C-alpha cells in the first residue's frame, strides 16, 4: 500500500476508534468537533481557496438541519427521502443565492450573503409552527435503519463518514482543474479570465458545492442533538468559523482542521479558568495571527517541521 | 396623518443614527479601502462611555458628549496604529485589515462586557421625557436632539471634505493613494486620522442612541449591519449618500413595522430584502461618486 493510502487508513481508523470509545459528554463533544471540522473544511474551500467571503455558510448548515427535520416531522416524509430533499433544497437555494451574489465584487458579496443569512434567521424566528420560532424544534429522533442503532457511538461513526466524505470531495476538487481554476480566480480574476476560465460558472459551482456540503453537515447535526434552534445558525458561529479557518491557515485543508480542533477545544480548557471571557482570547488570537502569522498555525507547523528535518539531515 | 408625521420623526431619529454609522464606515473606507465592521462596536463604546461620564459621573451633556467622542476617537486611532498600520506597511492582502478589525470587534465587545457586565445599563434623556411639537411634527426631545446633532455633524463633515485642505487630502488619498503620496500627503497620518474620525462619529451615534434604547454589550453588531446597509443603499462615493441611505433604510423599516399586514418580527426582514434588492439592481448605491458616469 502506498504511503498516502496508509495514512488515510490510519486516520480513518483513529477517527472510528475514537467514535466507538467516547460516550457521554466526551462523545457529544467529539460529534460536535467532527461537524465543526467538516464545516471548516467546506468554508475553507469557499473562503480560503475560492476567495469568496460569504457569510451564508452557517445559514446553509441551518437549512440542512431545519430542512431534514421539517421534511420528516412536519411534512411526514420517510427519513431517506427527507435527507435527499434537504440536500436538494440546499443545492437549489445555494444556486439561487450564488447566481446573483457571485456577480458582486468583493465585500458586496459578504454583505449580500449576510443579508441572506439574517433573513434566514428572521424566518426561523417567525416561522411559527413550521420552524418552532425561537424555541426551535425538539423531541424528534431518527429511527434505526437496517437494524443499526442511530444514537450514541454508532451515530458518531456516521458523522465520521460525513467528515471523510466532505474531506474527500473537497480534496479531489482542489487537486483537479477545478481547484486550480478557483485559486486562479481568487488570486487574479482578470488573469484567470484571460486564461479561459469561466469566472461566473466556477464561482457559482464553488459556492454551491461548499454550501451544499455545509447543508449535509447540518443534516447530521439535526440528529446529533435531536434539537434545532435559531441561535445555533446565527451570525456568531459564522465568525467562529472564520476565526478557525484563519487561525488554522487560510486555504489549507490541514489548516482548517487544525483551526477547528484548536479553537473548538480551547473553550473546554479555558472556560474553567476564565469563564466566558475566553472569547476575548479568540479575538486576540485572531488579531495576532493575522499580524504575525499570516500563514496560520499550519504555517508554523510547516516551519517547525522543515527546521526539524533540515537539522536531522545535516546531522 | 398625524400618526404618519409622528412616524416620520422616528424615521428621522433612527435614520440619523444609521446615517452616522454609515458615515463612520465611509470616512474609513474612502481613503483606505477598508470596510471596518467594528464601527458598530465603536458606537457601543460611545454608549458605554456615556454610561460612565453622563450616568455615573453626572457630567453635563456639553462636557460628556465631547468626552465620549474623544475617547472613541482615541480608540479608533490606537486601533489603526496597532492593528492596521503594520499590515499596510508590509502590503498584506487587502482583506487582512478587514479581518483583524473583525477580531478587534470581538475584543472590544468582550472587554466591554467584562468591564460593564452583561446587564442593561441606562443613560438619561438629556432633555427629559417631554414631548415637543414643531408644527405638525411631534416627538420626544431626544428625537429632535438627534436630528439636530446629526444635521450639524453631516454639515461639518461635508465642510471638512469639501472646503478644507485636510479634507482635500483625504479625497486625494481616496482617489489615488500613490499619486497622493507623491504629492506629499502623509498617507500614514491620513489613515490614522480617518480611523480617529470614524471612531468619533460612530461614538457620537452611540451616545445619541444610548438614551433611546438601553445600553448592552451586544448592541454593536446590529448597528454595524444597519449602518453598512445604509451605506450600500446610499452609495459609498458621497457624504450625502450615507445620510440618504440611513433615512431610506429607517423609512422602509418603520413603514413595514407600522403598516404592513405581517407580524412585526417578520417586518425585521424588510431592511435585508431592501438591501438585497439594492445590491442586485444598483450595487453602486443611489448616489454615484463625482466623476463616475
Return averaged pLDDT per consecutive 10 residues of chain B, 293 residues in all. Answer: 84 95 93 91 96 92 94 97 92 88 94 91 82 80 92 94 87 84 87 95 96 91 92 86 94 88 80 86 63 42
Q: What confidence tens digit (pLDDT) does each residue in B243-290 have?
A: 999 999 999 999 888 888 877 778 888 888 888 888 888 766 666 554
From the centroid of its chain, how far is CA B197?
11
Mean pLDDT of the A248-254 span: 93
A202 shares its domain with A262: no
A12 shares its domain with A107: yes
A229 shares its domain with A240: no
pTM tops 0.80: yes
A229 shares its domain with A241: no
Total structural domains within chain A: 2
Q: How far apart are CA B181 and CA B188, in angstroms?
A: 10
Q: Is A17 within 8 Å of A11 (Cβ atoms)? A: no
Which among A233, A248, A268 is the end of a domain? A233
Nearest CA in chain A to B265: A126
Contact B283 A286 (CB under 8 A): no
A199 shares its domain with A60: yes
A200 shares its domain with A260: no
Q: What confidence tens digit (pLDDT) does each residue in B38-61 have?
A: 999 999 999 999 999 999 999 898
Nearest to B225 among A118, A285, A286 (CB): A118
Phi and psi at residue B285, in whole multiples of 5°?
85, 175
Determine which of A53-62, A117-126, B134-143 has the lowest per-residue pLDDT on average.
B134-143
A165 shares its domain with A247: no
Which among A233, A265, A280 is the end of a domain? A233
Q: What is the ipTM of this complex?
A: 0.87
CA distance A10 to chain B (A): 36
Q: How far apart are CA B102 and CA B107, in angstroms?
A: 9
Contact B280 A100 (CB under 8 A): yes
A269 shares its domain with A199: no
Beta pairing partners, A228: A137
Nearest CA in chain B to A235: B221
A113 shares its domain with A210: yes
Q: What confidence tens digit (pLDDT) does each residue in A268-305 have?
A: 888 878 777 788 888 999 999 999 998 999 999 999 98
A228 shares its domain with A239: no
Q: Return the residue matching grid coordinates 485559486.
A: A183
Beta strands in chain A (DSSP E): 137-138, 227-228
CB pairs under 8 A between A and B: 96
Nearest CA in chain A to B224: A111
Contact A277 B221 (CB under 8 A): no
Q: Is A269 within 8 Å of A281 (Cβ atoms)? A: no
Establish how many alpha carbons lie within 13 A of residue A258's alpha carbon, considering only the half-sphere containing its beta carbon.
18
Contact of B63 with chain A, judged by CB distance below 8 Å, is answered with: no
HEC states along A4-53? HHHHHHHHHHHHHHHHHHCCHHHHHHHHHHHHHHHHHHHHHHHHHHCCCC
Structural domain range at position A259? 234-315
A142 shares its domain with A239: no
Contact of B277 with chain A, judged by CB distance below 8 Å, is answered with: no
The proportion of chain A whose per-residue pLDDT surpasses 90, expressed as a percent, equals 60
Q: Is A232 within 8 Å of A63 (Cβ atoms)? A: no
A210 shares its domain with A105: yes
CA distance A133 to chain B (A): 11
Q: How far apart are CA B142 and CA A81, in angstroms?
A: 56
- Of A180, A153, A172, A236, the closest CA to residue A50 belongs to A180
The Cα-based distances of A314 to A300, A301, A303, A304, A308 in angstroms read: 21, 20, 16, 15, 10
Instruction: Please name the residue ranges forming H helices in chain B.
Output: 2-32, 39-50, 61-79, 85-89, 95-116, 141-163, 165-175, 177-182, 187-209, 220-234, 239-259, 264-267, 270-281
Nearest CA in chain A to B98: A107
Amino acid at each position: 500500500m502506498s504511503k498516502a493510502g496508509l495514512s488515510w487508513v490510519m486516520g480513518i481508523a483513529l477517527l472510528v476508534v475514537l467514535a466507538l470509545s467516547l460516550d457521554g459528554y466526551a462523545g457529544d463533544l467529539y460529534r460536535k468537533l467532527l461537524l465543526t471540522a467538516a464545516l471548516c473544511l467546506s468554508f475553507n474551500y469557499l473562503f480560503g481557496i475560492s476567495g469568496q467571503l460569504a457569510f451564508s455558510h452557517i445559514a446553509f448548515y441551518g437549512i440542512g438541519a431545519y430542512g431534514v427535520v421539517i421534511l420528516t416531522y412536519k411534512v411526514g416524509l420517510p427519513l431517506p427521502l427527507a435527507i435527499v430533499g434537504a440536500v436538494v433544497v440546499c443545492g437549489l437555494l445555494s444556486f439561487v443565492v450564488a447566481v446573483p451574489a457571485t456577480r458582486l465584487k468583493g465585500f458586496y458579496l459578504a454583505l449580500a450573503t449576510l443579508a441572506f443569512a439574517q433573513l434566514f434567521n428572521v424566518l426561523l424566528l417567525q416561522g411559527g409552527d413550521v420552524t418552532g420560532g425561537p424555541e426551535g424544534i425538539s423531541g424528534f429522533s431518527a429511527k434505526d435503519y437496517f437494524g443499526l442503532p442511530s444514537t450514541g457511538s454508532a451515530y458518531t461513526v456516521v458523522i465520521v463518514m460525513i467528515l471523510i466524505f466532505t474531506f474527500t470531495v473537497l480534496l479531489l476538487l482542489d487537486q483537479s482543474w477545478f481547484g486550480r481554476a478557483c485559486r486562479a480566480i481568487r488570486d487574479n480574476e482578470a488573469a484567470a479570465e484571460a486564461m479561459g476560465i469561466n469566472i461566473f460558472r466556477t464561482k457559482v459551482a464553488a459556492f454551491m458545492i461548499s454550501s451544499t456540503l455545509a447543508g449535509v453537515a447540518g443534516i447530521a447535526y439535526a440528529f446529533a442533538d435531536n434539537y434545532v434552534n435559531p441561535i445555533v445558525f446565527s451570525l456568531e458561529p459564522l465568525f467562529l468559523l472564520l476565526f478557525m479557518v484563519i487561525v488554522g491557515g487560510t486555504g489549507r485543508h490541514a489548516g482548517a482542521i487544525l483551526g477547528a480542533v484548536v479553537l473548538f477545544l480551547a473553550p473546554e480548557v479555558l472556560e474553567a479558568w476564565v469563564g466566558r471571557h475566553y472569547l476575548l482570547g479568540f479575538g486576540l488570537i485572531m488579531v495576532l495571527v493575522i499580524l504575525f502569522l499570516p500563514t496560520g498555525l499550519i504555517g508554523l507547523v510547516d516551519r517547525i517541521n522543515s527546521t526539524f528535518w533540515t537539522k536531522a539531515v545535516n546531522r | 396623518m398625524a400618526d404618519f408625521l409622528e412616524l416620520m420623526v422616528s424615521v428621522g431619529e433612527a435614520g440619523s443614527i444609521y446615517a452616522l454609522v454609515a458615515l463612520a464606515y465611509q470616512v474609513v473606507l474612502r481613503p483606505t479601502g477598508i470596510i471596518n465592521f467594528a464601527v458598530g462596536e465603536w458606537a457601543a463604546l460611545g454608549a458605554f462611555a456615556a454610561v460612565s461620564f453622563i450616568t455615573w459621573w453626572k457630567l453635563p451633556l456639553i462636557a460628556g458628549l465631547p468626552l465620549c467622542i474623544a475617547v472613541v476617537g482615541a480608540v479608533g486611532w490606537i486601533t489603526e496604529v496597532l492593528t492596521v498600520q503594520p499590515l499596510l506597511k508590509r502590503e498584506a492582502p487587502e482583506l487582512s485589515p478587514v479581518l483583524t478589525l473583525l477580531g478587534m470587534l470581538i475584543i472590544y465587545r468582550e472587554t466591554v462586557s467584562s468591564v460593564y457586565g452583561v446587564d442593561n445599563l441606562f443613560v438619561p434623556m438629556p432633555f427629559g421625557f417631554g414631548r415637543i411639537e414643531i408644527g405638525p411634527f411631534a416627538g420626544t426631545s431626544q428625537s429632535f436632539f438627534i436630528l439636530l446633532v446629526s444635521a450639524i455633524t453631516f454639515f461639518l463633515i461635508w465642510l471638512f471634505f469639501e472646503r478644507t485642505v485636510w479634507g482635500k487630502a483625504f479625497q486625494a488619498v481616496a482617489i489615488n493613494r500613490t499619486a497622493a503620496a507623491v504629492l506629499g500627503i502623509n498617507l500614514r497620518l491620513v489613515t490614522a486620522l480617518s480611523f480617529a474620525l470614524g471612531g468619533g462619529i460612530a461614538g457620537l451615534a452611540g451616545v445619541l442612541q444610548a438614551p433611546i434604547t438601553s445600553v448592552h454589550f451586544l448592541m454593536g453588531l446590529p448597528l454595524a449591519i444597519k449602518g453598512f446597509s445604509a451605506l450600500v443603499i446610499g452609495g459609498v462615493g458621497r457624504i450625502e449618500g450615507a445620510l440618504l441611505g440611513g433615512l431610506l433604510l429607517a423609512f422602509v423599516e418603520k413603514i413595514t413595522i407600522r403598516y404592513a399586514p405581517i407580524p412585526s418580527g417578520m417586518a425585521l426582514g424588510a431592511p435585508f430584502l431592501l438591501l438585497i434588492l439594492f445590491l442586485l439592481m444598483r450595487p453602486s448605491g443611489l448616489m454615484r461618486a463625482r466623476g463616475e458616469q
